[in-house]
A and B are shown apart, each in its own frame.
Chain A
Amino acid sequence: DVKVTQSSRYLVKRTGEKVFLECVQDMDHENMFWYRQDPGLGLRLIYFSYDVKMKEKGDIPEGYSVSREKKERFSLILESASTNQTSMYLCASRTQGSTGNTIYFGEGSWLTVV
């Protein structure tokens, strides 16, 4: 089974802190994604990566950055956390070749910024 693991399920951080959300996938997928999920707003794409060292902005990249130094690991970074970044963050991965390939999601990281 494909597994996308988000190591931190629940985090509480203070405004202005630097926050790292880590994601690891075990299926040698080329593509990885970070989404944000908010009630009534659905899933919004923050950043994605087609392969190691590559990154592309999604729909809401402001306030976020990403790092992909290894194929299996994709990190989301909040440089200076703000209360409006309180949300659930979902990491996902997909094999390269076709958007018709299934995207596999992790179980999410709940971030509260106080």
Chain B
Amino acid sequence: QQQVKQSPQSLIVQKGGISIINCAYENTAFDYFPWYQQFPGKGPALLIAIRPDVSEKKEGRFTISFNKSAKQFSLHIMDSQPGDSATYFCAASTVSGYSTLTFGKGTMLLVSP
């Protein structure tokens, strides 16, 4: 099974700080890297995604940084807010319509007021 390794398992950040979650993958054929956000009692929802033709993608306070040579990508949450407290999953796959996402094990983020 192709793995996606995610760290840290949990993270506490003060309001206004930067939250950083890291993921590493093994399969060099992966070419789609989404992040999902899950609030308690809800299913995960797509937050932001990147393809390997760019090294960074930003949407509001959320940024994905991608390092193809290192086979690593990370999620940065700027100006973290208590409403960002959730579990975050990175994932990876090939773009082929018949492949499936491989998820990391998740990071529980708590942003303290």
- A residues contacting B by CB (< 8 A) are 4, 33, 40-45, 48, 50, 58-59, 90, 92, 96-100, 102-108
Which one of B32, B45, B96, B100 lies within 8 Å of A105 (CB-CB)? Answer: B45
Q: Does B113 contact A (CB under 8 A)?
A: no
Q: Does B27 contact A (CB under 8 A)?
A: no
Within 34-73 of B, Cβ neighbours of A (below 8 Å) are at 34, 36, 41-46, 49, 51
Interchain CA distance A100-B32 in the complex, whole Å:
6
B112 within 8 A of A: no
B9/A40 in contact, CB under 8 A: yes
In the complex, the chain B residue whose C-beta lies closest to that of A96 is B97
Chain B residue at minimum C-beta to C-beta distance from A97: B97
Q: Size class of B's contact patch?
A: 20 to 34
Residues of chain B within 8 A of A59, CB atoms compared: 1
Q: Write the nearest CB–CB distance from B20 to chain A, whole angstroms.
A: 19
By the criterion CB–CB under 8 Å, are A105 and B103 in contact?
A: no
Residues on the A chain within 8 Å of B106, using CB: 40, 42-43
Given known contacts A33-B100, A99-B101, A43 and B43 CB-to-CB distance under 8 angstroms: no
The secondary structure that dominates the A interface is loop
Minimum CB distance partner of A43 in chain B: B103
| B93-A99 in contact (CB<8A) | yes
Q: Within the complex, which residue of B41, B46, B94 is in contact with A103, where a contact is CB–CB below 8 Å?
A: B46
B46:A107 contact, CB within 8 angstroms: no
Q: Is the CB–CB distance between A103 and B98 below 8 Å?
A: no
How many angstroms between the C-alpha atoms of A39 and B41 in the bound complex? 14
B90 to chain A: closest CB distance in Å?
10
State whether A107 touches B43 (Cβ < 8 A): yes
